[in-house]
């Protein structure tokens, strides 16, 4: 069995996975497959992983857990403060770390709006920083109504973060109005970036693995939309829950279509994928 992934090794804060301690995070880093140039071939019931040095790993089944690359702001010092003030993506699990704090959230999509509402329950103030003219251009109407009716959420449109500042950790950000050019520095310890991401699935196009319009791998029931089997599914049986359109190739975690983008969810899906891989080895 070939398992490709270990995005977790890049995380500084594993807050959504209960009792995930620093020594365990270090173990994840050591165990991650950290070799560049990995590509795959799938034919005749075999999965072949080919490394940059030409080494071939051959197995009857494989699990893809390559995750996504969150879009970044592209600012100096951004990498320095990642995990110590700057965080990518946001959810209810992170909200508990922001009790009575003033936090800033970059993004104007539905995920950013939902995150702002989660944070508003515990944070003193939540400020949404939006590049566009209005939330209505990118956000669902029901979320807009809830955001503007929440007293401790402020929305700054036509605004972007132009600098992140601090020594060992984030202490302030600089925001700039895109229309007037006016800039100001604001103290904060938390900046959440919710501007989407790109799944690591470019390799899937070449080998014929089905993806959705955003590039995520389609698995299980989603290969049988509206009761119709996906054109690329070759077997009489239905695909297993985390199985792609290539029998024996499974996807788990953020890289999968309609997955919940959280560490704990990815861990659970990884365990499920292993169980389905064993079922495939036993029953085909």
Predicted confidence pLDDT, tens digits, the chain (284 residues): 555 554 544 444 444 443 444 444 434 333 344 445 566 777 667 777 777 778 888 888 988 888 888 889 999 999 999 989 999 887 666 777 889 999 999 999 988 998 999 999 999 999 999 999 999 888 889 999 999 999 999 999 999 999 999 999 999 999 999 999 999 999 999 999 999 888 888 888 888 899 998 899 999 989 887 566 677 788 888 999 999 999 999 999 989 998 877 777 888 998 999 999 999 999 98
Q: Are 252 and 68 in contact (CB under 8 A)?
A: no
Dist CA 48 CA 64 (whole Å): 12
User: What are the structural domain ranges in the chain?
Assistant: 2-69+197-283, 78-193
Q: E strand or H helix at 187, and its extent?
A: strand 183-187
CATH 1.10.1060.10 fits 2-69+197-283, yes or no: no
Fold identical between 2-69+197-283 and 78-193?
Answer: yes
pLDDT per residue over 98-114, tens digit each? 899 999 999 999 889 98
Closest CA to 241 of 208, 264, 271, 199: 271
What DSSP character marks residue 96? G
78-193 belongs to which homologous superfamily?
Answer: FAD/NAD(P)-binding domain (3.50.50.60)
């Amino acid at each position: 069995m070939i398992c490709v992934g270990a995005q977790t090794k890049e995380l500084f804060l594993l807050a959504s996975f209960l009792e995930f301690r620093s020594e365990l995070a270090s173990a994840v880093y050591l165990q991650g497959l950290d070799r560049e140039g990995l590509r795959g071939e799938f034919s005749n019931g075999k999965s072949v992983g080919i490394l940059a040095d030409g080494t071939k790993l051959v197995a009857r089944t494989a699990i893809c857990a390559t995750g996504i690359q969150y879009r970044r702001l592209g600012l100096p010092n951004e990498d320095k403060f990642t995990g110590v003030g700057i965080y990518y993506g946001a959810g209810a699990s992170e909200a508990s770390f922001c009790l009575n704090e003033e936090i800033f959230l970059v993004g104007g999509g539905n995920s950013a709006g939902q995150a702002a509402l989660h944070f508003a329950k515990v944070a003193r103030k939540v400020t949404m920083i939006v590049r566009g003219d209005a939330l209505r251009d990118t956000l669902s109407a029901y979320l807009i109504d809830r955001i503007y009716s929440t007293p401790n959420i402020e929305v700054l449109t036509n605004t972007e973060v132009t600098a992140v500042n601090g020594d060992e950790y984030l202490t302030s950000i600089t925001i700039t109005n895109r229309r007037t050019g006016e800039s100001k520095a604001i103290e904060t310890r938390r900046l959440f970036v919710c501007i989407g991401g790109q799944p690591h699935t470019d390799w899937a196009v070449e080998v014929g693995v089905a993806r959705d319009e955003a590039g995520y791998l389609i698995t299980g029931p989603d290969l049988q939309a509206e009761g119709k089997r996906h054109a690329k599914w070759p077997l009489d049986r239905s695909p297993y829950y985390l199985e792609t359109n290539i029998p024996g190739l499974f996807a788990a975690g953020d890289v999968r279509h309609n997955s919940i983008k959280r560490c704990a969810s990815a861990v659970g899906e990884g365990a499920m994928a292993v169980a389905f891989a064993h079922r495939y080895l036993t029953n085909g």
